[in-house]
Structure 1
Amino acid sequence: MNTWQQAALAAEIENQAQVPVLSLAASASVRPSRRLGRPTLIQMGSNIYEQVRCISAIVRSYHWRGVIAIYEDDAYGGNAEMLTLFSEALQRVGSEIEYHLSLPPISSLSDPRESVFQELLKLLSTQSRVFIVLQSSLPMATHLFQEARRMDFMGKDSAWIITDSISSFLDSMDTSVIPYMEGALGIKSYYSKSNRPFLEFSAQFQKNFKSENPEENNTQPGIHALRADDSIAVIARALERLASDDTNTPKMMLKNILARNFSGLSGNIIFEGGDLSNSNSLLFRIINVVRTGYKELDFWTQDLDNPFRREGRDKNSSRNTTKVLDGPVIWPGYLIKRVPKGWEMPTDAKPLKIGIPAKTSFDKFVKVDEAEAEADKRYSGFCIDIFREVLKILEQNYSLPYEFHPVIGTYDELVDFVYNKTYDAVVGDVTILANRSKKVEFTVPYAESGLVIVQVSSEEPQKAWMFLKPFTMEMWVVTGALLIYTMFIVWVLEYQSNNPAFRGPWKNQLGTALWFTFSSLFFAHREAIHSNITRVVIVVWLFVVFVLTSSYTASLSSILTVRRLESNVTDVEWLKATKSVVGCDGDSFSGNISAAFLELPYAKVFINQFCKNYTANQPLNRFGGLGFVSSNSSSSPFAFTKFFLGNLLEGGKFRPPNAFQKGSPLAADVSKAILTISEKGILKSLEDKWFPRSAECSTIEIDELSLRNFWALYFLCGATSTLCFLLFFLCL
């Protein structure tokens, strides 16, 4: 019996007589046979559930997001549970079945080759190039790989994985057939090839097989031969036990079989619930089909943390999880240096179809000039330049032929074209949104995005105390204190020097001292100075005055010259409350509308050019940024913007992301390339190239001058005055 379904049918027939049935076919169920209502059916083959877990671990290790499941149908309809198990296993590792191809039973086909060819034609419209052959007879697998290679499904960037139902026959398969499978990965049930019982059995098996089939080259015993021998051993041991018992019934025979526990050629023979227990620490060999044979790469275990390891390796040993298989792996198309993308990669004959917006509100992002004859000059803009820089990095590993297709429509429609596979990707100013991410794959954002309010600016109202703004309050207080202290020192020194200008009634002395000190601020003092020590104090004070007046004049001039703008519109609720007109079609920023909602990148470009007339507030909402799209979108947040922005100004435009089809490996590669050009400063240079800031829009922030800016100068002045005061009295 070739399939588990056939064995199950036989077991149901024999169930009434309680006759045990041993099956070497793989089971597609995770439940033991006894729980399936087949207590007499004993599984000696591997469980397909463990095989799909192994396959999903391989898929996860190579980051393949989508696969194509291929299987040969049977007359018993037993593939539904197998597909369910496989789909659930893939979902747990972040992958999915893009398409499942059911091949009819080969026994029902008059022309298997033509039938397989017609079935494979269905895969031409799929994107994934990771093919998993879950179940197939050897003749069907032979036709499958022959046609797949002829139809170029086994070219570079494709990957094929075969299960134990095929790989177990590689030891005895015709060597002229194996080259059609070259590059495929396979999983084979593990068994030790070094123990003495196996070596003795292998030698005897090859001797007998060669004598009966002298034309065959492959004479190694496969897992089926080992399990057949183990099955015979199980029955023999059960019969020996049955002969020693008084009760000789089929039920007792079944009990004796299930009670067997020994080390066989295929591994430990232990039954649990009527099925062979997976007690081996190493369950499957991972093999790579090469030329007319195969090489062993690794072993798969049930250890979730370290599922792949060589025989004899410590389970706690470190392992590179990005290249989990000991290699090198020879992939289809003799690809060795890198892992296949597992995706239909573009070629010169079939380049990558990239949709771009034919018309944007800000053509500095994407501009299409149909009148330009040269393709390189026909498409320009910030997004186009980023994409071309990304290509320079990607082409270090593989070529990426492409062609641009201008699309007239909304951004939602543009993303939907990627979702329905009209285009492979979108390059342009597409905002990353949650609902779009459900349909397509976005790259990392290359520009920040959010929703801001742009409005006509109003000058900051003039304030009566504007003249105090250049200095902080602390600065004014300390300056006044230093002035009074200097006035006091000058008065004392000149009074003791018998200067008649500082003599007389105390009111005259105070007035003279005040006038002298204040007039020195404008270098207009006229009183004669008698003491040389006083002259030292005055010189230092005049230097302080010079520095302060120069700094004050410069700061006040900047405040009065650079326009300070403030936003009248605070938020959306303010617009609602005032019933303001927002973004009406046909209006422009001539006062007809109160405000406009713009994407943050557009607002930056617009404000950079028209900063003297318009202002923007902080983003009201944050989006995912601007990126490229690769298959999977929704409605553009810019549709509302474009509704009124068309007449907002003549010239000037903006946007960014990129998107790819769901599961596309290009999205990850493009994201890495975007990060690379960002780290190298290329992205910043492109921003400066396409969005230069107007000379009139330099954002000079005027900070008030504080005491920390002049504390050394003040200390010098105060210390000089104090020192001169002490020296004067010491010299008396």
Structure 2
Amino acid sequence: MSGVRWWFLLLFLLSLQPKADQAKQRDELDGCSWCSKNNTIENVGGVIRYAGTRVGKEQKIAMKIAIKAFYRSNLSDYLRLKFADPLGTPASAASAAIQLIGRNHVQVIIGTITMLEAALIYNLDSTTEDIPIISLTSLPTTPHLMPNPSPLFLQFSNDVSIHMQCLAAIVGNFKWRKVTTIYQQQDGLSIDSGLLILLSDSLRKVDSEIDTHLTFPPLSLSDPKNIAIERELKKLKSKSNRIFIILRSSLEFAILLFEKAKQMQMVEKDYVWIITDEVTSLLESIESSILYNMQGILGFKTSFIDSTRSYREFKTKFRKKYELKYPKEEYLNPSIFALRAYDAMWAVAKAKEKSHDSGIQMIDPKGWSCNDRDTRLKIGIPTKSAFYQFVSVSQDKNENRSTHATGFSIQVFEAVVNRLSYHLSYDFVPSNDSYDDIIQQVSQKVLDGAIGDISIISDRYQHVEFSQPYMESRVVMALLFG
């Protein structure tokens, strides 16, 4: 799938653990006429909030399309999807995932699971410790305070810090010095301080700051007239600051918020509203009459290539299935959230195909591979070093090499190379030139690098990059008396 790449996940997922009793479980894939009870069945759990949310609906349908599309060309083996909709607190999401693992024997969890929820899943039940969790949400949970809950927890979305930088860039461009942030409380969760910290840090770089923060309560069926939204908007209207950033919001909440703001004349010339990717990417699914209330709002979204053959095929399947499932909805095209769910599901199926039914394993991607066509790096070393303890170059006929380099700087370089997770080919190139000349040769790509007792000074720093100094260097003045 263009735009949102799935293949990197294969570096982490190799296979899925088979379960003997799963052959009797009911198939949940719509229209799966080619499934056979004789095949090895392995289950994937989908923890998706698909009840009443556009994102959840898209994700569930996209995952089903992915698994069906993948196994049309390979009928020897297949995966089954088991869905759960966690309504409520993070504990309910963790409970839903644990039940899928225990009752349905799923070997992978895909869904809108936050870092906090993943930590609960791994900590509440020891049987989950080997279960990969692929998160489709980019919302942090105070990331600087909470470590990654497990090496098996994978984020399949954008880095939310980039979103905060986008917001700050908009604010900085117009030189707004103070902003008001709005956060919709969802699933019983309070404000995620991680978002506020990231945004505050980004705003500080453009000489701006958060003046007021307002948390809206979750949507309630007992409040059909949205009195709570109107009450909070009145608070905002009474303040002098009119720059509003909706930091977190569902599409459904945003629609109600702007409908009420329009009625209260708060979407006018003196007001600025900025929305993030989680709302902007879904605006095309809104009816034109509703979208009218949101005219003049600033926002950004994740773009993707929609001209490839693979995307067009997916789009056609998605539109047919979505229209069949939700005939009353006007807009049928998939968003970026559907693409991520599709690609995550495809990646799991691809990993299973490569596994040969041996259990999930984790490998360490090196990110670098040398081959015979790679040019060996030319590393310059000074032959006129003032201190032979750092660099010393000599002839070495016994080892059939023209030069032999020794010294502390050489040892540091070789120690670093030996710690690399890949092979690095290089040759030492002795140079009789001055240190400044060697620096120029590196800058001009005559040499790939240089090592030695080379001082880091401002003039040289303008031409090349230096490693961290591994020894302190100082200039001192001595007075001699006769």
What TM-score, normalized to structure 2?
0.48
Instruction: Write 1 or 2 for the structure with the bigger share of helix.
Output: 1
Greater Rg by CA: 1
